[in-house]
Structure 1
Amino acid sequence: MKFVTTLLSVSLILGGIAFSTPAKSADMASVLAGFCDNVATDNKSRVRKKLKEAGVKLRHIYDGITCGGENLVRYAMTKNAQGAGEFIVKRMPASHFADSGDLDWANANGHGDSEIAKAIKDR
């Protein structure tokens, strides 16, 4: 049920962006441009600022963002971006991590002791 709700939310957000004026779509793209770079450099304040400028909540766009072929949490772990990764985990609902497999992935890839993995366990 949560998957359907999440899918519907993402569809509505992306649909709103698609049918907005071209300038607004360009603004959204420019605001979120460099988002992965900010995660990779562990710039938590910049990640927060990008989301605020875009006027979106991370949980609404999380499934649509990939960095280096990985989701944001896994990307943060591979880049050792502890601050940004913990921020991302705290902004996502706890139920997301129950089904995501991110903790298993972290343990299998040597990131099980990271602060991000601990934050996922605490959720």
Structure 2
Amino acid sequence: MLRVVSYCLSAVLGATMLMSPTQTAHAQYRFETEEIALVFCAYARDNETQRLQYKLRELRIRMRDVYSSIRCNGASLIQFAMKSNSQDIGSFIARSVTLEGLRTMDDYRWARENGYLDTEIGETLKFRFENDLN
């Protein structure tokens, strides 16, 4: 009986020790992701297309893979770029993201309803949606 209790306690202790580093690593990854989102928002605000491209290469990620998870003051990166009048970076992002990603964030409708379709970013969005073969 004592052997069974001892075995169970060591199994629980071992499992707990294995789970703790995983939870810590997840929290650290989440913090880094939030920090990266903050950097991307700053680049969008400042119209820093080259710096954004460099950071994407450095992190070995594509804009289309992270676009839907980044929000800047409650707006998508494209919406935030439009509000900030950051035409270069907004157009770059609009060309880089898949149509599905743009639809998910509802960027085209938002631009139309808020009067941004006549901007360079709006023109890029219009072109992407009008030339969609689906």
CA contact (8 A) 1:42 1:84 kept: yes
Question: What's the % identity of the aligned pairs?
Answer: 27
Q: CA RMSD in A?
A: 2.6
Query: 2:16 maps to which residue?
Result: none
Q: Following the alignment from structure 2 to structure 1, what is the Cα–Cα distance between the partners of residues 46 and 40? A: 10
Amino acid across the alignment from 2:84: K
Gaps of 5+ in 1: 1-17
Amino acid at match of 1:70: A
What TM-score, normalized by structure 1, do the two folds share?
Answer: 0.71
Indicate conservation of the 8 Å contact 1:65/1:72, yes or no. Answer: yes
Q: Indicate the residue corresponding to 1:43 in structure 2.
A: 48
Question: How far is the alpha carbon of 1:68 from its aligned partner?
Answer: 1.1
In the other structure, the counterpart of 2:5 is none
Residue-pair matches, total: 106
Residue equivalent to 1:14: none
Shift of 1:75: 0.5
Measured after TM superposition, the shift of residue 122 of structure 1 is 1.1
Gaps of 5+ in 2: 1-22, 129-134
Structure 1 74/22 Cα, relative in aligned 2: closer, same or farther at 3 Å?
closer
1:65 to 57, 65, 70: 70
Contact 2:63 2:97 in 1 (8 A): yes
Are 1:109 and 2:118 matched, yes or no? no
More helix by share: 2
